[in-house]
Amino acid sequence: MEEARYVQHPRYKALILRRTFPQLQEIIDRCQQWYPQVSISANYKATEHRWHFPSGAIIQLGHMQHENDKYRYHGQEIHRCGFDELTMFTESQYLFMHSRVRSTVPEIPTQILSTTNPGNIGHMWVKGRFVDVSNPKKPYIDPITGQSRVFIPAKVTDNPTLVENDPLYIQRLEALPEVEKLRLLHGVWDVFEGQVFTELSQRVHGCDDFPIPPEWTHWMTFDWGYARPWCALWFAEDFDGVIYLYREKYGMKGDDPNLGVRQTNTEICREIVDIEREKMKYRVADPACWSPTKIKGSNQVHGPSFVEDAGKERLYFMKADNDRIRGKQQIHQRLMLDEEDRPQFVIFKSCKNWWREFQNLYEDPKNPEDCDTDQPDEGYDCTRYSLLSRPLAPKKRVVIPPGSFTAERNKYIRAKEYAKRYGISMAAAYARIR
């Protein structure tokens, strides 16, 4: 309805977007219900997916299933653009439409209006663009563009009609799994449906930077990238077997986690050499780093592999275990708390790119046991390689032989506690305990 605000103006043009055409059907149905009430003569042309109003105004319904579908709107002048379920879109699709929203009509102001729930592929960039930059309902002025944007949270209780007509709806939301309940009932953006490492907490697993003792075991893991970012992470293990991630380096352009810096192998290696200030016990790299560069469409070798170039810079690597499922399970096991409520994996708070990536990793919809590979996951891959190089072995169960001194002593202590607790004799306690 907001998109229909200026339909009385003959030059007004608006656009409402969903990610796929099947998702757009709900918008089509609602428009057919409401737009005739705005103007009896409003006419929907299904072949064009456009609403035509008597004044000449147009509201178009569109979708962007594929990344390049955004170019369908190239050259258009759109006064108001609406994104429904914004987190289903990529950031580049959203930003491209900013160039289409313009006005040569002074009386029609431009605006982009979006609605969404937490989750989906765009969760990270939407949260960073709207939720994290300012307090709710407080406009934020972009220092580069001068444009304002604001996040207006809404909960189910803000819809009194729904609550009155269906009073049990809130109870049904209360019965959802914890993550879905936080997201849909309380509007929490720190968790979302499909989030991989829900147990990860900066309060529990994060720590302030401190000098890593040189006697601890140090190693580094590497994931190569050119057009996409490359990543190097540095780890250390203390004498209790706790692993610390204490340094990161993402070869990305600016703050864009999808854009690499396009460095050569030699440039990457020399940057790593400049960063390392301690002796590494070993280094681990993606198995693909052993593959020589080949000419596309043939088997002709175009250049040396990454490890060959790295060797010339005195950087030597072991081939990583690339088992995705076992690697993911190692991360889960390390994040779990032990008997003393301590994690086996701790991350320096200064590793901000790692934290941003991990807190927004989502599951592969086709295989919930794995992470979706279409998202930024360079740090995730490096972490898998690292923990699989030093896997957390299951603790051995100590079996005390029956009749031994230790077994009889333990039985005596349990019997003594049992007799004291229930006020019975030691003989009766001995008969009752195992």
199: which residues sit within 8 A by CB, 6+ positions away?
A: 332, 335, 336
The confidence score (pLDDT) of residue 302 equals 66
- Residue 341 exposure: Cα atoms within 13 Å on the Cβ side: 2
Tokens 């006419």 sit on residue: 43
Q: H or E element: which one contains 167?
A: none
Integer CA distances (angstroms), 283 to 214, 233, 235, in order = 17, 10, 10
CB atoms within 10 A of CB 76: 14
Tokens 């923990």 sit on residue: 387
For the record, the structure tokens of 402 come out as 């029956």
The confidence score (pLDDT) of residue 75 equals 87
Mean pLDDT in residue range 192-197: 78
Q: DSSP string covering 222-235, please?
A: EE--SSSPEEEEEE
For the record, the structure tokens of 223 come out as 């994931």
Q: DSSP string covering 169-199, please?
A: HHHHHHTS-HHHHHHHTT--SS--TTBS-TT
Residue 379 scores a pLDDT above 90: yes
Please state whether beta strands 50-52 and 58-63 pair in parallel, antiparallel, or not at all (unpaired): antiparallel
Q: Which residue has the higher pLDDT, 197 or 294?
A: 197
Largest Cα–Cα distance in the chain?
Answer: 98
What percent of the chain has a predicted confidence (pLDDT) above 90?
60
Mean pLDDT in residue range 193-221: 90
Q: In which band, very low, low, confident or very high, does the pLDDT at 235 lie, cut at 50, 70 and 90?
A: very high
The CA distance from 281 to 218, in Å, is: 6
131: which residues sit within 8 A by CB, 6+ positions away?
A: 151, 189
Mean pLDDT, the chain, whole residue set? 89
Residue 378 scores a pLDDT above 90: yes
Residue 432 scores a pLDDT above 70: yes
Mean pLDDT in residue range 356-361: 88
CB atoms within 10 A of CB 413: 10
Q: H or E element: which one contains 309?
A: helix 306-312
The confidence score (pLDDT) of residue 187 equals 76
The confidence score (pLDDT) of residue 207 equals 94
Residue 102 scores a pLDDT above 60: yes
The confidence score (pLDDT) of residue 20 equals 92
pLDDT in tens, 270-318: 999 999 989 999 999 999 999 886 555 556 666 789 999 999 999 999 9
Tokens 């607790």 sit on residue: 421
Mean pLDDT in residue range 71-100: 93
Residue 366 scores a pLDDT above 90: no
Q: In which band, very low, low, confident or very high, does the pLDDT at 108 lie, cut at 50, 70 and 90?
A: very high
Please state whether beta strands 318-319 and 345-348 pair in parallel, antiparallel, or not at all (unpaired): unpaired
The confidence score (pLDDT) of residue 397 equals 61
Least confident of 66-75, 131-140, 175-184, 312-321: 175-184
Buried b (16+ CB within 10 A) or exposed e, 191-200: bbbbbbbeeb
The confidence score (pLDDT) of residue 340 equals 75
397, 399, 405, 406 alpha-carbon torsion, rounded to 10° = 20
The confidence score (pLDDT) of residue 396 equals 64
Collapsing DSSP to helix, strand or coil, 161 comes out as helix
The CA distance from 405 to 274, in Å, is: 59
Least confident of 81-85, 355-359, 396-400, 430-434: 396-400
Q: Which residue has the higher pLDDT, 124 or 336?
A: 336
The confidence score (pLDDT) of residue 300 equals 63
Quote the DSSP letter at residue 101. B
167: which residues sit within 8 A by CB, 6+ positions away?
A: none
Contact 9, 29 (CB under 8 A): no
Q: DSSP string covering 219-273, please?
A: EEEEE--SSSPEEEEEEEE-TTS-EEEEEEEEEBSTT-TT-B----HHHHHHHHH
Mean pLDDT in residue range 97-108: 92
The confidence score (pLDDT) of residue 423 equals 81
Integer CA distances (angstroms), 111 to 3, 49, 101, 240, 250, in order = 9, 21, 7, 56, 35
What percent of the chain has a predicted confidence (pLDDT) above 70?
95
284: which residues sit within 8 A by CB, 6+ positions away?
A: 219, 220, 221, 222, 317, 318, 319, 320, 385, 386, 389
Residue 158 scores a pLDDT above 80: yes
Instruction: Dump strand ranges (E) for 281-358.
Output: 282-285, 293-294, 301-303, 318-319, 345-348
227: which residues sit within 8 A by CB, 6+ positions away?
A: 259, 260, 262
